[in-house]
Structure 1
Amino acid sequence: MTIAIGDTLPKATFKEKTTDGAVEISTDELFAGKKVVLFAVPGAFTPTCTLNHLPGYLENRDALMERGVDDIAVVSVNDWHVMGAWAQHSGGMGKIHFLADWDASFTKAMGLDMDLSAGALGVRSKRYSMLVEDGVVKSLNIEENPGQATVSSAATMIEQL
């Protein structure tokens, strides 16, 4: 079953590369008592994710924070080395969280997984964005086509705030 507005996020632990190395960060640590924008991409370094989706959130980080957002995070079914390299390459290290859902457990628990094995990509996350307040989903924007980043864009999230 797909997570919906009003649902509480499932418990999970991600890996994230920081300037001090790899750390674990739980959903409780990231979302408890905070207003957080979470967006997901099918894969780090993939064209739409790297050229369209992520840049929108990096460019609009200040605008989101000015509207009361405490934190921004991107999650992908990749390992923390890949997510860390993507954070460094994009200039996003330290600006937003780059969360590795390495085994897709969080993505599957939310019902937002998709099988892209036909394209040699395996299980990945659907592209989406959501506003989460104290662990509860307040808005949810799921793309119909994983090659597009329109309804899950930073611009859409700004409008919803």
Structure 2
Amino acid sequence: MKFIELYLDTTYVMPFFHLDIDVKGFSRARYKEIIKSLDKIHLSEISLIEAKAKSLKIREKRSDVNKKFNEGLSILSDDEKVVIHEYRSIDDAMFNEFILLGLDFFDAVILAQSCTVGNLLTEDLRLLQLKDTGVKIINWAALQTGSGV
């Protein structure tokens, strides 16, 4: 299945801020190709906050982390291809259903917001096991083998 638009979980937002991710077989070069091939990429505002929190944890190891985060945030905010989702009433209605599935708070928010796009790229095992959510939930390996990008 080839995707025209893709909703990114926090893991896949982190590379925009030069933060490393631990995903088997992940390649920044391949990721860049995939992102460029899409008409739109979607992400939650909550993922930006999570990425900022993660960047603060590595601040002592990398002095440029604040600068890189700010640059990444500017690029994402200014790119017409990027849709940053704020929390809306429609998301809250879906959140109220998904939280009953035992998801953590942030996962339930991101899954709820991804309903408007219909897909979600994640490595979260709990999310990947869900069925009948109305969202096609895939990981990096599935994107590589089945996306056609």
Q: Normalization by structure 1: what TM-score?
A: 0.36
Higher percent of residues as strand: 1
Q: Normalization by structure 2: what TM-score?
A: 0.38
